[in-house]
Structure 1
C-alpha cells in the first residue's frame, strides 16, 4: 500500500462546498484563529495558493485512498506559526472541537468580566447596610472634637458595633448566669469575683494578640491593622472593667466577712492580694492614659508608658495567680509568649535592616505646592517610562491649597493635576463606566476623606461589584 497519498504542493483553500458539515463550519469560521491539535504532518506551503495560509484558518485536501479505490475522504490542515509555514493535520471532529473551544473561551471571558462586575444583590446590600456602614449616616473615622486640640475618638462601623455589643453582652452573661442569687450575700459576691477574674485573664490572650503589628490574623482574615487596633482598645476596656469588678467584689466580700478595718491590713500583709492590687492599679492607669486626646497629643510618650504599665500589670498578675496556685496562669503564659515572640521578631527585623548599614534616614514632607513634588521626580520618571504603563496606571493629583491655579498643569494625559478637593462621586462614577471585572476603592487619609469615600462606595453597591479598603490611622 502506498503511504504518500497526499501531495504537499497541491493544498487547496477551504471552500464550504467541499464539506459535508457546511453550516457548522460556516458558523465557526469567523471565530477560529488557529488550531493546534492532531497528528503532525509537515507540508510545504503552496506558492500557487497563498490564500490557503494567509486568509483561511485551515485548508482542505481531497485525498484518494489507494486501498479503497476511488473513494474520496477529506483531510484538514492547519497552518503552523513558523517561518516554514508547515501544516498540522487534524480530523474534522478535532477541528469542530477546537473552534468550539475558542468560541466558548471568548464568550467565557466576556461573561467572566460581566460576572465579576455585576454585584450579588444580597451581598451588596449586606456591605451597604452593615459591613461598610457607619453607625449613623456618614461619620466613622472623622473624630469627635471638643476643641481643635482635644478629640474624643471615632465611632465603629455597624458590624463592629454589633460584634462588640455581642462580645460585651457575652462577658456580662458569663459573669452572672446560673448564679443562685438566693444564697447569702457574701457567697454571691465571691462567685462574681471568681468569674470576673477568670474572664479578665481569658480576655488578655486576644488583647495581646490584637496589639501586635505582625499579627498573622491580619492576613488570614484580610482585616486591617486599624480594625485590630480598635478591637484591642475595646478588649482592653473589657479587661479593665472585669478587673475592677473582680477587685470590687473582693473588697465587698472581705469587708462583709472581716470588716473594713481588715481590708487595709490584708492589702499590705497578704502578698497575693498585694500583687493583684498592683496589677489592678497598672490597668486603671493604662485606661486613663489611653484617652484619645492624651494618646494623640503625645503618642511616642504614651506608647512607652503604655508598654511599661502593661509589663507591671503582667508581673503583678503573674504573682497574684502563682501565689494562689490558680490554673489561669497557663492562659497568662500564652499571652506572654505571643507578645514576646512578636517583640523579638520586631527587634530582629530592626537589627537586620539597620545594623551595619549606617541606619535608615527618612525625610517626611508635608507638601503645600506642586514644587514639593520635585523630590519624587526621579522615581516617578522611572515609573512613567515603563512599557505599557498607560494601560494600567493613571495618576491624578489634587492640590487642595495652591497659591495660584496657573501653577497647576498636567504633564500628560495619564498624569493630571487639578486644583481643589476631588469630587468623589464624579471620580468613582468615571471608574465604574470603564470597569472591567470587580473593582476596589482604597483610601488612606484623614477621617473626613475616608468617610466621604465610604459614603460614595456604599451608595453604589447595588450598581456594580465594588469593595472598600481603608487605612485610617485613627489609633
Structure 2
C-alpha cells in the first residue's frame, strides 16, 4: 500500500510542478537585484586577479630592469675576478628580509620540496611555500567571504535562493582562472615569470574551491526543497526533478563529475598512476563542462564558461600547432635513445624545425613507439650543430647551403623510473649497440633563464638534475669569454651516487672544459655518496675536484659568499631534500636570524631550566654543568640556570674530539653536559666513555628545532617546557660564613707546560670585579647604548666576561653570530652601528686585506670608533694597515689570561691610539703588578727592566680545580705568576716581549707544546720531538714540530706529510702543525730540559735549520 502511494505521488508530480505558482513581481525584482549583486561579486574576483597580475607584473619588470642594468654596468669590468662589482654585492636589507621571510621561505622551518612518502614508491605531496600559502589562504578566505556577504541569512525563503545563485555564479566565475592556469601555454608564465609548477598548485586549489562551491550550490537546492516541504514530498520532488528536469539532471551530472575530479586528484594517485590520471582528468573535466553548460539558463553566466573553455581550446590549438610546426617536414623529428650506466638514457633529438637553444628550457616529448598517448617534461641538457647525414646537395654554393648542411641536435638525460622511462630504458638496453632510433614529437620549448647579470653563480645538482645546470655553465663560460656576461665566478656542485654517472655528461663536460678562459671562471665540485672504494675518488685538477660523501651546503655557500663577486645567484635542481638544504642555507645568509632575548626573558627561561635541572637531574650546589657549544642566545640561559642553583659553569671548545672532550669532562667533574647539535655525536661517545651517560646530555636548542631525536637526550627547550610543570627550584644563596670571593662559579680551561687541561676556578667576585674594571675604561658615544658583537666564542674567557656578563652589567646589547660568516659580520657591524670591535688579529687582517671587505669599508669607517684586541700578538704591519684604512679610529690592546679573568691591563681612553698598539696598556683598577728577575724570583725589578710579569687584584682566579701543585706554582703569596716576559715603562705601560710558559696562541686559542709532543712521540717514525710556536701573519702563531727520526727512517717529503696528517687526524684544527723540520738532535740542557729558546732563536735567524716540510693549505682553513 505504501509502495502504491509513492507511485501515485510521483505520477502526480508533473501536474503539481506545472501548477506551481509563478514568481510575484516583488520576487522577480528581488531575484533581479540578487543577480546584479552576484555579477558584482564576480567582478570583485576579476578585479582581484587584475590587481594581483598588475602588481606582480610591476615587480617582475622591476627585477628584469635591475638585472639588465646590472649586466650592462658590469660588462666592461674586465675578465679578471679582481674587478669587483662592489655596488651589487651589498644586499638590500629590506628586500633580503622579504625574501628570507616570505618570497623564498618554506611554510614552516625548512621542508618544502622534500616529498612526504608513505613508502619508497608512494608520494603524498609536498608543503607549499610561505608566499604560496599566503595566497591560497587569502584566496580561500576571499571565496568564503564573497559567498556569504549581502545574503539575508535571517529570511529562510530568501537565503536558499541567494545562496543557491551565489555559489553557482562563483563556481562558474572561478573556472576562468582554473582553466587559464592549467595550460602549459598559460600567458601569465611569460608575463609574470612564475613557474608552471606554482600555477599548477594554484590550479589544484582553485579546482577544489570550484568543487566545494558546486557541492554547496547543490546543497542549497536540496536545503530549499527539504526545509520548505514535508520530508516525503520534498524527496519525491527531488527525485522527480533529477529524472525529468534537464537542468537538474545535467547539473547533478556536472556536480558528480566535479567531485570525481576532486577524489582522483590527490598527489598519491597523480604520482602513482600519472598517465591514467591525466586521461581520466580530461574526460571528467569535459563531462563537468558539458553538464554545467546545459545546467546554466542565464546567458550572462554562460559568458564565464565560454571564456574558460575558450582559453582551454586556444591553449590546445597552440600546442597542436607547435607540435606540427616543430616536427613536420625535413624528414620529421628523430630520437636516438642510448642506454647509459647508472639506469639512465641519453636522448639525442634531431628536430625537424629547431629553435634557438637557451639555458633553462624544457620540452614535452612524445614517443609513440614507447608510449602512444603519453608526453613527459624533460630538461634540455645540450644543443649542438652536426653535419646532416641526409644532405645530398654536394658542395655548398651559397650561405643557405652552408646552413642547410648543418642540423641542430638537442639532447636529454633521462633517469629510469617507472612506466614510460622504464620502457624506454629497457628497449635501448636490449637494442644492438645499446641504442635505437625512433620517431618522436617535441612540444615546446617552455621556459628559459639567464644568470648572465650575476657576478657569482653557484649551481647545485643531484643526479639527473645536472641536465638543468650544464646549459647554464656553457652559456656563462661563453659569455665570460666573449664579454657578454657579468659573471666572474661559477661553482658547479654535482652530487652523484657513483662515478659511473659521470658518463652521462662526459662528452659535454669535455667540451666545456676545453672552452676558452674556462679555468679563469669555473670550478666543479663532485660529491660521490656511494663510492665502491676510495680509489674512485680522485681530483683531476684544482678546478675539478672530487670528494666522498654529501656536501656541507652551508659551508660551501659561506665560502663562496665570503669571496663573492658582485650579485650572487644560487640555483638547485635535484632531490627535494637537497633543494630544502640549499634554500635553508641561502636564507640563513640573506640576513641575521634576528632572534633576541632580553635579560628578563633570560632570567625567566633560566628559572624554568634550573627547575628541570634540579628536579630531573638532581643538580646540587657546587656540581659542574659543562657547555660544549658554539655561540647561541641560549648559551646564557644554560649558564645562568646553573648559577641560579649554585652549580659551577664550565665552558669548553665544541670542536674537541672524543679524547679531548673525555679529558675535559673528567677534569671539570661534569654532572650535566649541554652540547650544540654540531658536537652531539662526539658528546654521546665521550659521556659513555667517562660513565656520565647520555641521559645527562642536553642539546642546546629550542623545542622542535632538533629533528634527529636520540633516546634519553632532551633539548633545552624541552626542559624549559617541563619546568613549567614542576615545583620551582629555590634560588641558591651564598652561605652566611662565605662571601662571593669564596664560591667558585665558573671553570674555564687553561693548559700548562704539561699539556693537560687545568680548570681555572673563577669566583663570582672575579667576574663582577672585572666588569667594574672594564666599565671604568669604557667609552660610549652620547645617546648610544652599549653594543658589542660576539665574534669570539663564549667558552673563551673573553666571551664569558665581555659577551655574557659585561653587556648585562652595562644594560647593553650583545649581538651573536651563531656561525662565523665574514660578510654577515661586516653587515651586522654596519647595521647595528657597533662602535668597538673585539676581534682576534686574523679577522682584523681580513678586514684590511680581504677584497670581500672592500665594498663595506666606507660604511665601516663611519661606524667603527675603536679596535680592541689582546688574545694574540699583532704585528706592526697590521697596525699600520689598520691606521691607513681607519685613520680616525682608536686602537685598544689588552693583556691577561684565563687566570686573571681576562684583563690585567688595557689601554685607557687617553691611550686609544695606534702609537700605543705595541704595548698592552695600563693596569686595570685595583690591580698591582711587579716584574721579577728571570734568574732570581726574589728580586723585583724596576721600570724598563725585563723579567717575569706578576699581578694581583680582585680579578685574579682562586686557583686550579683539584690541582694543588699547579696552584702553588702559579699563585704565590696572592701573586699570579703569568709566565710572560716583559717590562713596565716610565709611563706605566706594560710591554710583553716573550713567554716563559711556552704556550702557543693560535687565533687566541692556547696550544700546549707538550700535548703535541706526546702525540708525535706516539708515531712509529719519531725518536724525539720539540714543538714551538712560529709567527703566522693570519693566526698570530702556529705550531711547528722539530723532529728527530728513528734510525733507518728516511728523511723527506713523504714522512713529513705523514706526520702532518697524523696530527690532523687526532687534534682539533687550530692545533694542526704548520711545519715539520727534521734535525739530528733536539737542543737540551745538561739536566735534559728542552731548550725551546734555542729553537726559537734558530727560527728567527734561519741558521742551522734542517729540511722543512710545510702544510701551505692550513692557513686558508683556520
Q: Is the TM-score greater than 0.5?
A: yes
Q: What are structure 2's unaligned runs of at least 5 residues? A: 1-75, 338-344, 346-413, 417-462, 464-496, 592-822, 828-1118
Pick the aligned partner of 2:192 from 221, 228, 237.
Answer: 221
Q: Which residue in 2 is equivalent to 1:419?
A: 548
Report the alpha carbon displacement of residue 313 of structure 1 after superposing the two structures with TM.
Answer: 1.1
Q: Which residue in 1 is equivalent to 2:522?
A: 393
Kept after mapping to 2: 8 A contact 1:424/1:456: yes
How has the CA–CA distance of structure 1 residues 351 and 244 changed in structure 2, closer, same or farther, with 3 Å as cutoff? same
1:328 is aligned to 2:301: yes
Q: Which residue in 1 is equivalent to 2:213?
A: 242
Kindly report which structure 2 residues correspond to 1:367-382, keeping only aligned pairs within 5 A, or say none.
368-382=497-511
Kept after mapping to 1: 8 A contact 2:164/2:221: yes
1:118 is aligned to 2:90: yes
Q: Which residue in 1 is equivalent to 2:144?
A: 172
Q: Deviations over 1:2-28 (max 9, x none)?
A: xxxxxxxxxxxxxxxxxxxxxxxxxxx
Q: Secondary structure of 1:329's partner?
A: helix
How far apart in 2 are the matches of 1:399 and 1:268?
66
How far apart in 2 are the matches of 1:384 and 1:132?
33
1:150 is aligned to 2:122: yes
How far apart in 2 are the matches of 1:371 and 1:149?
25
Q: Which residue in 2 is equivalent to 1:251?
A: 222
How has the CA–CA distance of structure 1 residues 378 and 120 changed in structure 2, closer, same or farther, with 3 Å as cutoff? same
Q: Which residue in 2 is equivalent to 1:404?
A: 533
Kept after mapping to 2: 8 A contact 1:354/1:360: no
Q: Deviations over 1:239-261 (max 9, x none)?
A: 11111111111111133345111
1:353 is aligned to 2:326: yes
Q: Which residue in 1 is equivalent to 2:586?
A: 457
Kept after mapping to 2: 8 A contact 1:255/1:262: no
How far apart in 2 are the matches of 1:214 and 1:112?
40
After TM superposition, the score normalised by the length of structure 1 is 0.70
Q: Secondary structure of 1:340's partner?
A: helix
1:278 is aligned to 2:266: no
Q: Which residue in 1 is equivalent to 2:608?
A: none
Q: Deviations over 1:406-428 (max 9, x none)?
A: 11222333332222211101111
Q: Secondary structure of 1:394's partner?
A: strand
Q: Deviations over 1:168-223 (max 9, x none)?
A: 1111111111212221x232122111111111111111111111122221232121
Report the alpha carbon displacement of residue 358 of structure 1 after superposing the two structures with TM.
Answer: 4.9
How has the CA–CA distance of structure 1 residues 253 and 111 changed in structure 2, closer, same or farther, with 3 Å as cutoff? farther
Question: RMSD between aligned alpha carbons?
Answer: 2.4
Kept after mapping to 1: 8 A contact 2:152/2:158: no
How far apart in 2 are the matches of 1:235 and 1:111?
49
How far apart in 1 are the matches of 2:226 and 2:151?
21
Query: Which stretch shifts more, 443-452 or 453-462?
Result: 443-452
How has the CA–CA distance of structure 1 residues 360 and 308 changed in structure 2, closer, same or farther, with 3 Å as cutoff? farther
Pick the aligned partner of 1:202 from 173, 192, 196.
Answer: 173
Q: Which residue in 2 is equivalent to 1:181?
A: 153
Pick the aligned partner of 1:289 from 214, 239, 264.
Answer: 264
How has the CA–CA distance of structure 1 residues 186 and 447 changed in structure 2, closer, same or farther, with 3 Å as cutoff? farther
1:260 is aligned to 2:235: yes
Kept after mapping to 1: 8 A contact 2:96/2:590: yes
How far apart in 2 are the matches of 1:296 and 1:461?
34
Q: Deviations over 1:157-176 (max 9, x none)?
A: 22211111111111111111
Would you say how many aligned residue pairs link Structure 1 and Structure 2? 356
Kept after mapping to 1: 8 A contact 2:112/2:580: yes
How has the CA–CA distance of structure 1 residues 281 and 273 changed in structure 2, closer, same or farther, with 3 Å as cutoff? same
Report the alpha carbon displacement of residue 115 of structure 1 after superposing the two structures with TM.
Answer: 2.3
Q: Secondary structure of 1:187's partner?
A: helix
Q: Secondary structure of 1:133's partner?
A: coil
How far apart in 2 are the matches of 1:310 and 1:289?
12
Pick the aligned partner of 1:134 from 86, 106, 115.
Answer: 106
Q: Which residue in 2 is equivalent to 1:232?
A: 203
Kindly report which structure 2 residues correspond to 1:55-74, keeping only aligned pairs within 5 A, or say none.
none
Q: Secondary structure of 2:85's partner?
A: helix
More helix by share: 1
How has the CA–CA distance of structure 1 residues 373 and 210 changed in structure 2, closer, same or farther, with 3 Å as cutoff? same
How far apart in 2 are the matches of 1:446 and 1:135?
18
- Which structure has more relative contact order (CA 8 Å, sep 6+)? It is 1
Report the alpha carbon displacement of residue 110 of structure 1 after superposing the two structures with TM.
Answer: 10
How far apart in 1 are the matches of 2:199 and 2:82?
38
How has the CA–CA distance of structure 1 residues 391 and 272 changed in structure 2, closer, same or farther, with 3 Å as cutoff? farther
Q: Deviations over 1:134-154 (max 9, x none)?
A: 222111122223333433322
How has the CA–CA distance of structure 1 residues 361 and 174 changed in structure 2, closer, same or farther, with 3 Å as cutoff? farther
How has the CA–CA distance of structure 1 residues 275 and 111 changed in structure 2, closer, same or farther, with 3 Å as cutoff? farther
Report the alpha carbon displacement of residue 382 of structure 1 after superposing the two structures with TM.
Answer: 1.6
Report the alpha carbon displacement of residue 275 of structure 1 after superposing the two structures with TM.
Answer: 1.3
How far apart in 2 are the matches of 1:317 and 1:290?
20
Q: Which residue in 2 is equivalent to 1:38?
A: none
How far apart in 2 are the matches of 1:206 and 1:280?
19
Q: Which residue in 1 is equivalent to 2:576?
A: 447
Pick the aligned partner of 1:308 from 283, 286, 291.
Answer: 283
More strand by share: 2
Q: Which residue in 2 is equivalent to 1:32?
A: none
How far apart in 2 are the matches of 1:444 and 1:289?
29
How has the CA–CA distance of structure 1 residues 142 and 249 changed in structure 2, closer, same or farther, with 3 Å as cutoff? same
How far apart in 2 are the matches of 1:116 and 1:435?
10
Pick the aligned partner of 2:162 from 159, 178, 191.
Answer: 191
Report the alpha carbon displacement of residue 456 of structure 1 after superposing the two structures with TM.
Answer: 0.7
How far apart in 2 are the matches of 1:114 and 1:171?
47
Q: Secondary structure of 2:545's partner?
A: strand
